[in-house]
Amino acid sequence: MPNTEILPFTFEEVTVRVEVVNDEPWFVVADLARILGYRDAANASRLLKDGQKGYSEVSTPSGPQTMLVANEKGLYRLLLRSNAANAEKVQDWVTDTVLPEIRRTGGYNARTELDATTPEGAALVLQAALTFQAQVHELTARVADDAPKVEAFNRFLNSSSLIKIEVAARRAGVGRTTAFRLLRDAHIIQRWNTSPMQHHAHRFEEVPSTHKNSAGDIVTDYTTKVKPEHFEWLVDTLSRLASTERSAS
């Protein structure tokens, strides 16, 4: 990806670097991860499709570094998938401040001031305004369409209820039997039952349930469930383990 000047913006004391390449803004994913509550850039990048991310050389205090960047579509994908309480505030900041400021200085060129009193400048200003308006309408429609699904998923994740391992398996695209085998092989749960290994016990909880057996006796069974705050970790872990197994076969 060719280099252009990095434009820094600040969101609640966090610097978000934006690079303009071929009249398109690309956001440094590490910065987006910080303001959207992702663990790091690698964690956020798993949600991005191939056409939404790339790599670019970015100036840092320790010198130029090759960093992961995301385009506008990637940015909005991260916004929609974010569980951060301020995700909507970030979206407003991007649409109300960042993108208009970039466009105001000449399309996406921060060094070119448009003279709207000339026919050429007026035409460019109009074109930029129409393009921005079309994109806002498209993104607004997309957000409205995805809002019920996002709200339902956020309610699910933020619920105090424990979550079955099978739910994480479905999210990771693996079957129930495969999921438990992968977790046993990775020493996350014990080999003789589904109880978590000691070093992973803080991520799970064993929920008791009782029933009568054929003899009429009351029997207590335990079901291992993942805590809501570790649900995404389990999904990522199952995805990684399944991918590693497929690669090795």
178 shares its domain with 133: no
Indicate whether 13 belongs to any domain: yes
In this structure, the answer to whether residues 205 and 111 fall within a common structural domain is no
Please give the model's pTM, rounded to 2 decimal places. 0.43
Last residue of a domain, one of 134, 158, 182: 158
**Domain identity same for 70 and 147:** yes
Cross-strand pairs, 27 = 18, 70
CB 168 within 8 A of CB 182: no
DSSP 201-245: GGGEEEEEEEEE-TTS-EEEEEEEEE-GGGHHHHHHHHHHHHHHH
Answer yes or no: is 1 within a domain: no
- Please say which residue of 117, 140, 158 terminates a domain: 158
Give the integer Cα–Cα distance in Å for 100 and 89. Answer: 16
Same domain, 186 and 72: no
Domain boundary among 139, 158, 177: 158
> Are 29 and 47 found together in one domain?
yes
**pLDDT tens, residue order, the chain (249 aa):** 444 556 788 888 888 888 887 778 889 999 999 999 898 888 888 888 888 998 888 877 777 788 899 998 888 888 888 888 888 888 888 888 888 877 766 444 433 444 556 555 566 556 656 666 666 667 677 767 766 666 655 555 544 478 899 999 999 999 999 999 999 999 999 988 889 999 999 999 988 888 888 888 888 888 899 988 899 999 999 999 999 988 887
Q: Helix count (H) and strand count (E) of the chain?
A: 9, 8
Same domain, 27 and 58: yes
**Residues 111 and 38 grouped into a single domain:** yes
Are residues 37 and 11 in contact, defined by beta-carbon separation less than 8 angstroms? Answer: no
Both 90 and 58 in a single domain?
yes
11 and 93 share one domain: yes
Please count the other Cβ atoms lying within 10 Å of the Cβ belonging to residue 46. 13
The number of domains in the chain is 2
Cβ-proximal residues to 190 (8 Å cutoff; 6+ apart), any chain: 184, 196, 197
Asked if 35 and 46 touch (Cβ cutoff 8 Å), the reply is no
Clarify whether residues 141 and 176 are in a common domain: no
Domain match, 97 and 167 both: no
Q: Are residues 51 and 142 in the same domain?
A: yes
Q: Residues with Cβ < 8 Å from 62, sequence gap 6 or more?
A: none
What is the residue range of 38's domain?
6-158
